[in-house]
Structure 1
Amino acid sequence: MIMYDNDPPHGNELSSNLQSKHVVMIALGGVIGAGFFVGSSTAIAQAGPIVLLAYAVAGILVFFVNVMMKDLALYFPGKQSFLGHIELTLGGRAAFLAAWSYWLIWVTVVAIEAIAMANILSVFIDFPKTPIELTFIFIITVMNCLSVENYGFLEYVLSFIKIAAILLFLIICMGYVCNDFSIVKKNLLVSQGIAPNGWISMVCAIPTIVFSMGGSEIATIAAVESGEDRKSISNSIKSVALRIGGLYLTSIVFIIICIPWTSIKSGHSPFLEVLKQIGIPYAQILMACVIFIAALSALNSGVYVTSRVLHNLAVSGNSLKYFEKTSDKNKIPLRALIFSSLTSSIILLSSFFSYSEIFSVLMRATGIFTIFNYFLIALAARKIKNNNYYAYFSIFLLCSILFFMSLVEDMRGDILIGLIAYSIILFMLFIKERVVTANNIRRS
């Protein structure tokens, strides 16, 4: 069996000092980033009020995926990430595709969050965005070179601030709606009913939403560096899904009913527009601070997870052994960390051409990667339990999403980007297997 997460060579093990509360907050940190506070504008502008149904469907899917990850965590002995579970159930080739595509997801997320942070600062500071973006990635990379305990504590604090800000936003919106309930009908039906762009626009918004909700899988990766038992970790995974669904859906509901959806522009925070409408003093500055912290937290989680996935790829023989090495003192995979951050830096340089277009395109294209990994998680869960209705429903839903996406010209481009990326990964797998075969022949 190929090693994955369980048995790295002696001296290259990861730390095991994270607590379950850190695991939960790390996962929430990866989920609640700029994709939540800013990226939600893309889905709303695309679908209109019917986007609420899209968020509900995506929320159910993410919940089912987390339930399946919980089942996998309880089924297999030891502490494994969901990537390790895919290898144990579907084989090394499926794990190769899943791990490399997941790494691509998060190096892209790191770039997106850096772009979001630079865009926020550019409102207050007249300075080129690209140097700011690169500086943020450099700072977070340096911070991740410290002990994993310090990283876990920092992420815990940042995630707590984000959740507190969302809860405060919901309380403010609730008071605004209770003061004038007539705005609900007026804003919901501001233009051509609840589905002004057709029902298919709702389906096509789901990949963007699924991607913005993605990140709860980090809990299984961080769990490898946790001292908690499997049952505690599995319960943490499920609780993350419930919190994500509640925060996302209630926030979008209040956004849709508090302001006309036609006033929401892709790439601009709908949360800020709501606070302006309500008349909150210094709304722009307050929201900018919240989005900045959210992006910083997600960037921090992204840098963490890319380094761990690349390290595990090396341990399993699916990447260069060079990335297997961890630091002697803190057990940090420094080589994998630096390489992943450099890759994210290259990706974000594309923001030099167009911020709003790059932000939207990267989110939509990376949504394909997320859908693919969810599909593999569902297949893995079905394999350990034949009558797994969560798995069957998830597979049906994922296939339906891809089918409806193929009917829309713009979305077909996203699918094509995903297919090209997977073709490259498959080519890497082909080269790797040929090299392994050649080495085995020489040894014999």
Structure 2
Amino acid sequence: MKKKRLVILGGGESGVGTALLAKAKGYEVFVSDKGIIKEKYKKVLIHNEIEWEEQKHTESKILNAYVVMKSPGIPEKVALVQQLINKEIPVISEIEFASKYTKATIVGITGSNGKTTTATLTDHILKQELNVGLAGNIGDSFAKQVLEEDYKNYVLEISSFQLDGIVDFKPQIAVITNITPDHLDRYNYQFENYIASKFSIAKNQTAEDYLIYDADDEVITNWLKTHPVQSTLLPFSLVKVIENGAYLKQENIIITIDNNQIIMPTNKLALEGKHNLKNAMAASTVAHLLKIRKQTIRESLQNFQGVEHRLEHVLKINKVQYINDSKATNVNATYYALESMDAPTIWIVGGVDKGNNYEELFPFVNEKVKAIICLGVDNEKLMSTFGGMVDVIAETQFMTEAIKMAYKIAENGDNVLLSPACASFDLFENYEDRGRQFKEAVRNL
């Protein structure tokens, strides 16, 4: 019998993880990357005798595939992907492929913002009592973990790009943190295409499965009215009373599932800000479903350290707090950051604008921001949008320069916040690189 041929487009974390799992499951595997494959991944491919190529896609070796696993970074519009689709060769994501080889309980978490914090927090709570792997958009690839660890439970942070490549994938528990316009360049600038992509996390769910979502998010609630799902719904809200799900009552989170209720005081939560109350509600609801003890959930919420580059308190220098929120790559994320500021703020913003509309930030800028430092190659839109709102607005293309400017302007009790609302690729490798440079520049003051 001829081996089934799996072609993998993209030799990064998800590609190489899938290659290892596929080889172990008896596939003939070929990895093709249009860019350069990182040294550490090349070593793994060579060591495991997996055929690969870089800086090109050899069509004759790709168009004869039985199935293709595409890295989430490659858009569907690419000619090669279109050729595969026209030939009716299935093009799937790592999440789809790997999920076929595990019997684990899967918690899938998606959303425009908050998914990394919610996934990391959920993992932090569950691993106190369960055998859990954290994967998807974070850490080691899901496929590699299925091969090497095969945990009993997985918490997967899943992007819309990963969801675009699913066929049968079905998490027993799905979470949608929120949906705001993001990555619209990948969805023909149609917001509803992006919404549909996020909701595909629930498309294979049945009434035995759960969908946890933000009931205060009109995009989500309106979509559910016109596109009902089979899942058992567990909404969470800061303003409504929720019978089945989670809500806020005075200073407590109340979670009810099948008349089984738990109460979590919010006054000791480690993470600040309204959006983190929601992330805590989502994570606690998952934990309650998986029968984690109340005391464990409470303690975990109180000692959780947060996620790097997400409202990360770096240092206090001369009574000025420096905060790294480099992970804020869209306006909605920066909205949460500015909302949670409780002192006059010097805001560092800018990068690759994805068609941003900054209007929703105006109230916070007027109320809390005393100076703006634009850090990007092209800052014109920011300068014209915010120029009249603050006394000081400056621009630079160097992180060290931005920090020096902020240091000069800052007074006792101020915050210096890096929350760019934009992608980082104009001046940095990625948002992590941007965040690390911020931290380094602050430490060098």
Provide TM-score, normalisation by structure 1. Answer: 0.23
**Bigger Cα Rg:** 2
Structure with the bigger RCO (C-alpha within 8 Å, sep 6+) is 1
Provide TM-score, normalisation by structure 2. Answer: 0.23
Larger strand percent = 2
Larger helix percent = 1
